[in-house]
Amino acid sequence: MEMPEKIISERLILERPFPASFELAEEIFAKVETSRSTLRLWLPWVDKTLRAEDEFTNYLATYCLDGWKNKSGFPYIIRLKDTNELIGGIDLMSVNEQSKSGEIGYYLCNSAVGFGYMQEAVKSLEKTAFEAGLNRIVIKNDTKNTRSVNVAKHCGYHLDGIMRQDRWSDISQELRDSNVFSKLKNEAN
């Protein structure tokens, strides 16, 4: 499966975070830092990313490069088209070419919430992934993460079910439930 290094929508640019540079790591880390208290509620990697060096080593130089090289995942950073400001990230991950499936995961900085940016990013990435050959895309989120749930619903994803107590939350010190949403290629607009 081949994915483009850049996807451009009406207001956004989704771009492969490449080349892996410390300057880009600092930019991503600074944005995550501004929204750390919100993001850490739902994303376990936030508490493991404590310095720009962590962003570089764990995300850019390992996760991103491996995903693109193995064609198992395609992470993108999200920028505003008019200002080039970095506002979040979105991944097409767990790509399985045999079953023609993948999963979308995403985050948005607090300053960019409420403008429909994530819906636009999801729709752009899903359209590109379906055109590249996928048949099914999944979005998983914590049942209490209402913003993420609303993105999936507004993008027309079907709630397949709830995985009960499928993951541990260090923040709330409890087992949490996850929604599993999906969309098939023939259901896309």
Give the start-to-end residue ranges of the domains of the chain: 6-187
**Beta-bridge mates of residue 7:** 14
pLDDT(189) > 80: no
Cis peptide before 75 (omega within 30 of 0): no
Residue 165 to residue 185: CA distance in whole angstroms: 29
Residue 41 to residue 63: CA distance in whole angstroms: 21
Residue 107: closest CA among 121, 122, 93, 90: 90
- In CATH terms, the fold of domain 6-187 is Aminopeptidase (3.40.630)
Q: What is the pLDDT of residue 4?
A: 97
Q: What is the pLDDT of residue 128?
A: 98
Give the model's confidence band at 20: pLDDT under 50 very low, under 70 low, under 90 confident, else very high: confident
| DSSP run (H or E) holding 33 | helix 22-34
Q: Average model confidence (pLDDT) for the chain? A: 96
Note the pTM of the prediction, 2 decimals: 0.95
125-155, pLDDT tens digit by residue?
A: 999 999 999 999 999 999 999 999 999 999 9
Residue 70 to residue 150: CA distance in whole angstroms: 31
